[in-house]
Structure 1
Amino acid sequence: MLEHYKTIYEGGEGELVEKKSRFIATVRPVETEEEALAFIEEMKKKYWDARHNCYVYSVGMNREATRCSDDGEPSGTAGRPMLDVLLGAGIYNAAIVVTRYFGGVLLGTGGLVRAYSGAVQAGLAASTVIEKHHGISLQVTTDYTGIGKIQYIAGERSLPILDSEYTDKVVLKLLVPDDQVEEVKKAITEGTNGRAGLEKDAELYFAKVNGEVKTFEK
């Protein structure tokens, strides 16, 4: 399990032109190798008239499925440079297809490497990249006299309240990063004189997306 990792929240499309050849990079988040392969086929159908549709994908927290293809370009001039950019950016669970419309001018080995690398960088720049962090949903059960203190602790540490339930007692679910769990438990226990019940509700990942905290299963 990774404590934190970068991934694509929303894919994008970047383009560059090198000596009249067009390089179009399409980026998409993927959770499985099957999704990656389906996306590659989708791009090949969309850009059926292009000279090349080179690709790279990396799936899994240990990069279990990581592949790249030159799709007819000279060996090592497209897929591997694309993979180097993806790995260098530290991004997981993503697939990228770079489509080339040949402009009639040969670019040479160095020119192709720069063009495919640059296209991937442009595609990533046009995408929404987020960093997910691992944490837990901490369920806090308290009486009404303890709610103010718990809300203060949550606010002081910028811990989002994922859910709340008010009946004869109060049940709050706090989003707590892994590295703050013990500290938060201690603060709540001391702040409520041990009257609050604490229970791990679920493990999850969370990330800030456009300034808003969102949670994910993985």
Structure 2
Amino acid sequence: MLSTYFTVKNEGSDEIIIQKSRFIGYVKRVETEEAAQEFIHHIKKKHHDATHNCSAYIIGEHDQIQKANDDGEPSGTAGVPILEVLKKQHLKDTAVVVTRYFGGIKLGAGGLIRAYSSTTSQAIKTTGIVKRQLMQGFSVIVEYPLLGKLENALRNSEYILRDIHYLDKVDIHIYVEDGQENTFCKWITELTSAQAEIKETDKKYLEIDVSSTKNEAE
């Protein structure tokens, strides 16, 4: 599993007008080729009257699946430019469809490439990008007198304090970046003078909004 990677938020869209042609960009996070194709089919059905519904997607931990479709535009002027935007922004598990309603003015090969690239970039910006960070969960159990010191230290640290459960003892749930487990355990041990019970829990991806750095559990 990758320690970290970038992808889009769940789904979004935006549109621009270029030389009287209407370009509508649709973006969706997809984790399988079947999901990407279903998304493309949905947009094509929604805009069945459009001049073109061009698409591209990139899927897999190592970008194993990459597809682009010009849908009737001159070869290499639509699908590939869409795909290149995904690559340049280092996005994974992302599908894009750009719908075009022709406005009567031909753009030429260069103009089409710029139009599809710009629409894709704008739609991605509107949808938003997140960094998915692989995190190891921990349960840290301490006596109540240690809670204030530990909670304050955690809130001022790089670790993510998820929950606090007030039981016979205090059970604090924390997420730590993959690879930092030993450092974290040593820090907790020193902070509590070895009076904390530390247990690993789940491992999962947490999402960090690139624009606001807000942490969200999957």
TM-score (norm. length: structure 2): 0.91
Contact kept in structure 2, 1:141 and 1:169, CA below 8 Å: yes
Partner of residue 213, structure 1 = 215
RMSD over aligned Cα atoms = 1.7
The number of residues matched between the two structures is 216
Query: What is the CA-CA distance between 1:179 and the residue it aligns to?
Result: 5.0
Query: What is the CA-CA distance between 1:36 and the residue it aligns to?
Result: 1.0
Give the SS at the match of 1:149. helix
Query: What is the CA-CA distance between 1:42 and the residue it aligns to?
Result: 0.5
Q: Deviations over 1:43-71 (max 9, x none)?
A: 00110011110001112222222211011
Aligned AA (1:104): G
Q: Partners in 2 of 1:171 and 1:146 — Cα distance?
A: 11
Moved more, 46-55 or 165-174: 165-174
What are the equivalent positions in structure 2 for 1:135-154 lying under 5 Å apart?
135-154=135-154
Q: Deviations over 1:98-156 (max 9, x none)?
A: 01111222221111111111110111121121112221111112222332332132122
Aligned AA (2:91): I
Contact kept in structure 1, 2:135 and 2:176, CA below 8 Å: yes
Contact kept in structure 2, 1:10 and 1:129, CA below 8 Å: no
Contact kept in structure 2, 1:146 and 1:196, CA below 8 Å: no
Aligned AA (1:214): E
Query: What is the CA-CA distance between 1:211 and the residue it aligns to?
Result: 5.4
Q: Partners in 2 of 1:185 and 1:149 — Cα distance?
A: 16
Q: Partners in 2 of 1:200 and 1:62 — Cα distance?
A: 28
Q: Give the unaligned 5+ runs of structure 2.
A: none
Aligned AA (2:23): F
Query: What is the CA-CA distance between 1:186 and the residue it aligns to?
Result: 1.0
Contact kept in structure 2, 1:137 and 1:202, CA below 8 Å: yes
Aligned AA (1:171): D
1:46 aligns to 2:65 (yes or no): no
Partner of residue 124, structure 2 = 124
Partner of residue 159, structure 1 = 159
Give the SS at the match of 2:9. strand
Partner of residue 17, structure 2 = 17
Q: Partners in 1 of 2:61 and 2:217 — Cα distance?
A: 17
Q: Give the unaligned 5+ runs of structure 1.
A: none
1:74 aligns to 2:77 (yes or no): no
What are the equivalent positions in structure 2 for 1:179-194 lying under 5 Å apart?
180-194=180-194
Q: Partners in 2 of 1:122 and 1:192 — Cα distance?
A: 49
Contact kept in structure 1, 2:133 and 2:208, CA below 8 Å: no
Aligned AA (2:126): A
Identity %: 38
Give the SS at the match of 1:49. coil
Contact kept in structure 2, 1:135 and 1:176, CA below 8 Å: yes
Partner of residue 175, structure 1 = 175
Give the SS at the match of 1:84. helix
